[in-house]
Amino acid sequence: MSASDNAAPTHRTFTYRTATTWSSGLSGTLTASGKPCLKVSTPPEFKGEGEHWTPEEMFVAAVEVCHMATFMSYASARGMVVLGYVSHANGVLEYVEGDYRFTRIVIFPAITVPELIDESQVHAILREAQEHCLVANSIASIVEVNPTIVVQPRARATSG
C-alpha cells in the first residue's frame, strides 16, 4: 500500500458566475455563460413586474432542483429504479427582526417507483438527499420535504 492510498480525498472548489444587467425600474436580465438569458424583476408585491422570474422564485427553485438532483443521484447510486419524479415547492417569506427572509421551504415531490421497491427505501434516500442537498445546506431557513410515493403495479398479461 502506498502513502497515497492513505491520503484523505481532496475536494475541489467551484465558482459559478452570473451577470445581471439592469433594464428599467426593478427589472433586468440575468445571464450565465452558455445559458439562455432570463428576464428578472422583483415580485409585484415589491413593485416589480409579474411576468419575469424573481430572486424569490429562483431561490425556492434552487432548493427544489438541488433536492431533486441529489435524490436522483443517490437513487441511481443505490440502483433504485425511479419511474417518475415531479415536485412543487413553497417558500415562506416573512418579516423577521426588521427584515424579510425565507423562514421555510417545503418541497412536495411525487415519486413513482416500480412495485418491487419498498417505500421505506424511497424515504431513506429522500432523507439522505435532504441531508446532503448543497443548496439547502447553504441557507438558514428550514427546508422540509413532504413526498408522495406512487408504487407502479406490474403490468399483468391480458388474454384476448
Residue of 45, 66, 58, 76 whose CA lies nearest to 143: 66
* Structure confidence by residue, pLDDT tens digits, 24-57: 999 999 999 999 999 999 999 999 988 999 999 9
Query: What is the pLDDT, as a whole number, of residue 71?
Result: 98
**Residue 151 near residue 83, CB atoms below 8 Å:** no
* Residue 76, C-beta contacts closer than 8 angstroms, at least 6 positions apart: none
Angstrom distance (rounded) from CA 26 to CA 19? 15
Query: Which residues have C-beta within 8 Å of that of residue 132, sequence separation ≥ 6?
Result: 70, 74
- What is the DSSP secondary structure assignment for residue 35, as one 8-state letter? S
Question: Residue written as cell 427584515?
Answer: 99
54-160 fold: GMP Synthetase; Chain A, domain 3 (3.30.300)
Instruction: Give the three-state DSSP class for 103.
Output: strand
What is the average pLDDT value for the chain, to the nearest integer?
A: 92
pLDDT number for residue 104: 95
- 1 pLDDT exceeds 60? no
pLDDT of residue 4: 54
Q: Locate the domains of the chain by residue range.
A: 10-53, 54-160
What is the model's pLDDT at position 160?
Answer: 55
Q: Which residues are CB-neighbours of 37 under 8 A, at least 6 positions away?
A: 29, 30, 31
